[in-house]
Structure 1
Amino acid sequence: MNRRKVQKSVAVVGAVLAGTTAALSAPMTAHAAPAGKQLKLAATDDAYTSSARRTTVFGQDEKIAVGKLGRDTKVGYLKFVVPAGTKVTGAQLKLAADSLPSGSLTVSRVTNTGWTEKKLSAATAPAIGATVGTIKATGKDLSLDLSKVVTKPGTYAFALRSSAKDVTRLRSAENKAGGPQLAVTTSAQTTTPPTTTPPTTPPTQECVTDALLVPSCGVLWGAAAGGFTSTPRDQALKDWEAKTGRTAAIFHTYHKGDEQFPTKAEIAMTQDPAKPRVLLLNWKVAYGTTWAKVAAGQQDTRIDNWSKYVKANYQQKFYLALHHEPENDVNPTAGSGMTAKDYANMYRHVIERLRANGVTNAINVLAYMGNEKWMAQSWWKDLYPGDDVVDWIGLDSYVSVEKGYYHYGDFGDLLDRQPTGGGLGFYDWSVTNHPSKPIMLAEWGMYHRVKYPTDKSAAFNTVLPELTLHPKVKAVVYFDTAADNEGDRNIAVDSTPSSLTAFRALAANKIFDVKIA
């Protein structure tokens, strides 16, 4: 099952945690229903767990099993998102059973964060909270009034249980006949939700960056524009900012080997008081050599020369990513000089030498790739050099907006893509193993093939609700290009007019109002 399944008639462009009073502000791409009408919302996640198979995930099943089969207890889970701007006056949970249930179903609240149907199992299931009602079966079509529970826009999640000594099989969203619905009655038509601040950004609180450039609230907004073109990166970013309507607080550039940077043009971009920016500088220190040789000190002259340049020319804080996306260059053969452990040793050596040289304004980012093949490698975990030399955990990840094409998905899939064969997705891996580290999407983008222009607005509309569900993400940096390095994928935000409209609406959200201190 796909945790972001939504009725085609409703575009989910904002979500809040259930129980909060503020919603993410974003223009709706579909109107809320007129007075007295209903929004029929499909579950964004629906699955079940089995006590006998505690680690098994049933997220792709066409049924939701609830009840008992011998010693095996099965519990169903549902999640719904009520779009921002909806004036809720009533709500009905509607379920369809394959056969007449022999007993009643108990509906209880559960947290709406920390679980998705892609990885829900009895071992990872959220704790079951207060009971909100009981469904007494009188037929195959089941319903429960949730008007006292669903009262405003937000994300709502529930558990389904039965004490019967058999199993009720409900239709899931994968079932061709249709799955669970939340029928929300509205009081008035709403074309644009009220402008409010996100849950992480109280109205009276100013969001500012700290010593490690981590925002106290909100999310830093950034970009690398003009990729794989001859346009100077500074001019490309200025053009992109004018097009999208917001200054990129993070200006992302790329360097290698003995290059001296930041360049004069890059420095100038961070010294415009009207457009405050901070640099994200990628540096391939091992250019022309190997990670092992850098770790052994054979490029110390290169590191020392760059240290002197930075100390003499740039005193502002900046993000430094050493050899981003290292997975692409790993050679696991012992002695290759390019194993994952060689990378970790290189990273540690460079950071420790920079610190010894007095470079105190570099904030270190380790930028992984969002690829399930690499995450499944036995050596992948060996890339991490240690919390003491990593300030931010970065991720470079992209999704397709062409249904059925490679990595088709939305913003959540950038973060939750799982290793081949299963396991924790990147976001969950990061917060589980390195809970103190903020997460940066150091590169992200929505693409379609150059020859097949496809509207990206639906994917862009998922950014705000997914940021709410992934609160450790503190910076997002878009990589904008009309053609990637192979000339096949268009990642530009304006590849279609409607895509640009949706992206401009996203960029305008107050969650990105962060002051660089």
Structure 2
Amino acid sequence: MIRRNARTLMPIAALALGAGLGTAVYCGPAAAAETTDVVRSGAADDTYSSSSRPSYNFGSSSTLVAGRQGADTMIGFLKFTVAAPGAGGTVKGAKVTLTRASGNLPGSIVLRKVAGTAWTEKTLNAKNDPALGAAIGTAKPAATAATVSFDVSSVVKGPGTYSFAVTSAVANTPARFRSSEATTGQPALDVTVTRKVVTQPTESAPATSPATPSPSPATPSPSPTTPSQSPTTPATTNPGECAVGAKLVPTCGVLWGAAAGGFSDVPRDEALKTFEAKTGRTSTIYHTYHKGDELFPTKAEIAMTNDPAHPRTLMLNWKVGYGTTWANVAKGDQDARIDRLATYIKANFATKQFFMVLHHEPENDVNPKDGSGQTAKDFAAMFRHTALRLKADGVTNAVFVVAYMNYEKWNSASWWYDMYPGDDVVDWIGVDTYNNAQPGGFHYGDFNYMMNRTSAGFPGFYNWATTKHQGKPVMVAEWGVYDSSATVVGKNKAAVYATVLPQLAKMPQIKGLVYFETAKDQSGHDIRMDDTPEALAAFQQIAADPRFNVKL
């Protein structure tokens, strides 16, 4: 289940270090190397002012206008927040990219520095717009150029908030760019970061072959818009030793799972079996969705956990507040609904542990207005009340997961942190997160970017979870890759999939990885792992990795 909004993007590319697949064996001293990442940020604020409409605010417009039309002079304003590059990181360069929205571009467009950063897109107009500074760069684009870029390396040299103005002196041909409110092509600031890393020399032995062997996708040349193609880092433990312990946390390795057949009429158990046959691995986690008065797990779901040849556990998603509000659930208005489910679980599924997600992706349903019953704090109270009520009712085998959307607009909201229900009732911290495989497209990036998109005041999801809630296992409760290219190119998804294993190895707190597979989501995105042969071959390489050999 996916919803999409806007704001900030994050690590897009990293230069490959070495190559090959297999089991690494230490054979020498550590060596220093340098990696290059491109950190992409969306505008924290963007709008424009109009001299002929001095009191008017354009902060909600999907278009950013700059230039002259008759006596009207319009100036576009952009503000970006750049996070610290991290330990050992050095900012080496930066550029701002704007996407043409409509009409022809003027022959000359100037980007200027703006010292003031206190303005906001909801309040700026021609009466209060900040003073313009020196020109940073001038672009002379073709009239129908798709994008216009400006080198801002002279200004962006480290973390901070940066403001820019877009102007043009060309008469009667104002530039119209897409703003952050547009659905695609939002303004972007790409910051190039280099850092020293230490690697251990290795010798490789062949890894387990995927179910359908196929040549690895060609590695594209590293660029600011190419996902990194790092060497696969194999599991460092004996896969035969990995098993689940308390709260279904694996003693080593990572739980593998899927929610297959989303937004289709195919029965979910049938869809999952097809997914498993194509990928070559049993989905240890079987993710399904329920709401309101539905009783679960269903007989079909229980049957999937009783297959000795394909051992699985359930991840059951429940919108307990369906038809009412979170505040009402927290007050006890739906205790009869909770108690009824508890009775059913104890009678039908009392002996096996399972994951229970309470109202996944809550951000999209938050109404921050006091008294709405749907504030972030109401969600936290609903989650706490439901979890504690189920436990009091004797449901002892539920492992509770809070699952966020990982969307920049929400992550930067003032209320976002209020949603966390508390370490005492949260067993796993989950995230639903998706990438676009279209080079240069919105939400284009590698696995690290998928897990660690930054935004104003937010350090990235994995960074937040592991810093603020140390020791809590992280569940990637939904993940997927789609390709928004006008013509789907097989190597695009394959390139993103190729980054999963090496970057997953650098995120040891991720203990579960659950793919959401659908031919068409709410936005029309195809998130199937087999929409092209190249994508399937690359995904099979992920599935074949021994780190997912965790015994239930």
Q: Provide TM-score, normalisation by structure 2.
A: 0.62
The aligned length equals 375
Partner of 1:4: 13
Aligned amino acid, residue 334 of structure 1: D
- Say which SS state the counterpart of residue 310 (structure 1) adopts: helix
Q: How far 1:453 sits from its partner (Å)?
A: 1.6
Partner of 1:407: 443
- Going from structure 1 to structure 2, the CA distance change for 1:2 and 1:295 (only over 3 Å counts) comes to closer
- Going from structure 1 to structure 2, the CA distance change for 1:417 and 1:235 (only over 3 Å counts) comes to same
Whole-Å separation in 2 of the counterparts to 1:346 and 1:440: 21
Equivalent residues of 1:227, 1:481 under 8 A apart: yes
Whole-Å separation in 2 of the counterparts to 1:383 and 1:233: 30
1:395 maps onto 2:404 in alignment: no
Aligned amino acid, residue 342 of structure 2: S
1:212 maps onto 2:247 in alignment: yes
Give deviations 1:359-409, integer Å, cap 9, x for gaps.
Answer: 001000000111111100010000001000000000000000001222001
- Say which SS state the counterpart of residue 267 (structure 1) adopts: helix
Whole-Å separation in 2 of the counterparts to 1:280 and 1:313: 16
Aligned amino acid, residue 296 of structure 2: F
**Aligned counterparts, 1:276-315, within 5 A:** 276-315=311-350
Whole-Å separation in 1 of the counterparts to 2:464 and 2:521: 28
- Going from structure 1 to structure 2, the CA distance change for 1:427 and 1:287 (only over 3 Å counts) comes to same
Q: How high is the sequence identity, in percent, across the aligned residues?
A: 50
Query: Which of 92, 108, 114 is the matching residue for 1:61?
Result: 92
- Say which SS state the counterpart of residue 286 (structure 2) adopts: strand
Whole-Å separation in 2 of the counterparts to 1:333 and 1:465: 43
1:465 maps onto 2:502 in alignment: yes
Q: How far 1:120 sits from its partner (Å)?
A: 7.7
Query: Which of 449, 459, 462 is the matching residue for 1:424?
Result: 459
Partner of 2:212: none
Give deviations 1:114-141, integer Å, cap 9, x for gaps.
Answer: xxx97989xxx99x99xxxxxxxxxxxx
Whole-Å separation in 1 of the counterparts to 2:22 and 2:373: 47
- Say which SS state the counterpart of residue 512 (structure 2) adopts: strand
Give deviations 1:34-75, integer Å, cap 9, x for gaps.
Answer: xxxxxxx9833499xxxxxx9855866339xxxxxxxxxxxx
Gaps of 5+ in 2: 1-9, 40-81, 95-189, 205-221
**Aligned counterparts, 1:170-249, within 5 A:** 198-199=235-236, 201-202=237-238, 206-249=241-284
Equivalent residues of 1:416, 1:427 under 8 A apart: yes
Q: How far 1:448 sits from its partner (Å)?
A: 1.3
Aligned amino acid, residue 219 of structure 1: V
- Going from structure 1 to structure 2, the CA distance change for 1:396 and 1:12 (only over 3 Å counts) comes to farther
Q: How far 1:5 sits from its partner (Å)?
A: 2.7
Whole-Å separation in 2 of the counterparts to 1:12 and 1:380: 40
Q: How far 1:198 sits from its partner (Å)?
A: 1.2
Q: How far 1:418 sits from its partner (Å)?
A: 1.0
Equivalent residues of 2:253, 2:550 under 8 A apart: yes
Whole-Å separation in 2 of the counterparts to 1:175 and 1:473: 27
- Say which SS state the counterpart of residue 241 (structure 1) adopts: helix
Partner of 1:501: 537
- Say which SS state the counterpart of residue 251 (structure 1) adopts: strand
Partner of 2:521: 484
Whole-Å separation in 2 of the counterparts to 1:15 and 1:44: 24
* Comparing 445-454 and 288-297, the one that deviates more: 445-454
Equivalent residues of 1:280, 1:320 under 8 A apart: yes
Partner of 1:322: 358
Whole-Å separation in 2 of the counterparts to 1:279 and 1:15: 31
Whole-Å separation in 2 of the counterparts to 1:447 and 1:407: 10
- Going from structure 1 to structure 2, the CA distance change for 1:20 and 1:416 (only over 3 Å counts) comes to farther
Equivalent residues of 1:282, 1:323 under 8 A apart: yes
Whole-Å separation in 1 of the counterparts to 2:472 and 2:323: 31
- Say which SS state the counterpart of residue 202 (structure 2) adopts: coil
Aligned amino acid, residue 387 of structure 1: D
Whole-Å separation in 2 of the counterparts to 1:13 and 1:306: 50
Give deviations 1:257-295, integer Å, cap 9, x for gaps.
Answer: 000111010000000011000000000000000000000
- Going from structure 1 to structure 2, the CA distance change for 1:225 and 1:11 (only over 3 Å counts) comes to farther
- Say which SS state the counterpart of residue 280 (structure 1) adopts: strand
Partner of 1:151: 201
Gaps of 5+ in 1: 23-40, 48-53, 64-116, 130-148, 155-172, 177-181, 183-191
- Say which SS state the counterpart of residue 334 (structure 1) adopts: coil
Whole-Å separation in 1 of the counterparts to 2:532 and 2:260: 17
Partner of 1:433: 468
- Going from structure 1 to structure 2, the CA distance change for 1:56 and 1:265 (only over 3 Å counts) comes to closer
Structure having greater relative contact order (Cα 8 Å, sep ≥ 6) = 2
Whole-Å separation in 1 of the counterparts to 2:287 and 2:38: 39
Q: How far 1:451 sits from its partner (Å)?
A: 5.5
Equivalent residues of 1:60, 1:174 under 8 A apart: no
Aligned amino acid, residue 255 of structure 1: H
Whole-Å separation in 2 of the counterparts to 1:459 and 1:2: 12
Equivalent residues of 2:430, 2:474 under 8 A apart: yes
Q: Provide TM-score, normalisation by structure 1.
A: 0.66
Partner of 1:515: 551
- Going from structure 1 to structure 2, the CA distance change for 1:13 and 1:411 (only over 3 Å counts) comes to farther
Partner of 2:385: 349
Q: How far 1:175 sits from its partner (Å)?
A: 9.8
